[in-house]
Structure 1
Amino acid sequence: METIHHRVLRKDKQLLVITHLSQLLTYITGFGGLIVPLILWLTSKDKVLGMDDHGKQIMNFQLSLLLYALISIPAILLLGLGILTLVLTGILGFVMPIVNAVRASNNEDPSEFLTIQFIK
């Protein structure tokens, strides 16, 4: 005999907002902007409504930023274009978590601006 378990997801906009803003830890402490949102996502994706979608977007965004930064480093040798892309990556990494935190507080889906979909 098989039983079906129904999960009841709770609404927790504050946790979604905190998860997005936790990406900014990298700018404050030098690390944590990938690890803290990853932990929050993995521990609450089955409990909080929308956390799975927001968490995947955060991970995709952080991995995209990492890739952009890695590509920028050798591009510094090409007429200094890598410096510009590193600066733009830094700005994007600061602004988009704030934008998505506001979107989460308004019950909107996160923006996928310049985000490569590594995790579907």
Structure 2
Amino acid sequence: MMSEFETYTAPPPPPSSTGPVSAEEKQWAMFGHLSTLLGLFTGGIGNIVGPLVIWLVKKDTMPFAGDQAKEALNFNITLLLIGVVLLVLTLVTFGIGAIVTMPLGLLLCVAWLVLTIIAAMKANEGVAYRYPFTLRLVK
């Protein structure tokens, strides 16, 4: 049981049972993270669909790529939930809450872009990346 003074740390990535990660697996892991950028062109639905498709296709054949796509999926689901909460707060306050929710939404967008790029670069190096403040909903 965690005390109130302990900090939360992300779960460690799964151990690689196949040894070193192949170049193809690193590339698919990078695609798992970068596929979230499809949301910029699809009205936001690509943020979820891109990593979901890669995770479903590669999870059995490429464990590293599947793990990274699942991590990107969990991160984007978390951001979607936060975005919905910000939207509800704006609507409940009849738009007055936008004074707070708009800057938070902008900060969220910038953090999403920066963390996605960092994750893609780490995955391309063969390093399993864990996004901060992510709900691990897809196990």
TM-score calculated relative to the size of structure 2: 0.71
Alignment of 1:31-110 (within 5 A): 31-76=45-90, 77=93, 78=97, 80-110=99-129
Superposed structure 1 runs of 4+ greater than 3 Å apart: none
Unaligned runs of 5+ in 1: 1-7
Query: Are the equivalent residues in 2 in contact too, given 1:19–1:37 (CA < 8 A)?
Result: yes
Aligned with 2:47: secondary structure? coil
**5+ long unaligned stretches in structure 2:** 1-17
Alignment check: 8 A CA contact 1:54 1:110 kept: yes
Does structure 1 conserve the Cα–Cα contact (< 8 Å) formed by 2:55 and 2:69? yes
Matched pairs, number? 114
**How far apart are the structure 1 equivalents of 2:88 and 2:46?**
25
**2:5 corresponding residue in structure 1:** none
Q: Which amino acid aligns with 2:67?
A: D
Residues 64 and 53 of structure 1: CA distance in aligned 2, closer, same or farther (over 3 Å): same
**Range 27-36 or range 101-110, more displaced:** 27-36
Q: Distance in 2 between matches of 1:24 and 1:74?
A: 24
- Cα-Cα RMSD: 2.2
Retained in 2: the 8 A contact 1:41–1:52?
yes
Percent identity at matched positions?
Answer: 27
The answer to whether the 8 Å contact 1:60/1:119 transfers is yes
Superposed CA deviations along residues 14-37 of structure 1, whole A, max 9, x for unmatched, are 111111101001113323221121
Q: TM-score, normalised by structure 1?
A: 0.81
Code of the residue aligned with 1:91 in structure 2: it is V
Q: State the partner residue of 1:25.
A: 38
**In structure 1, distance between residues paired with 2:131 and 2:47:** 17
CA distance in 2, matches of 1:79, 1:33: 24
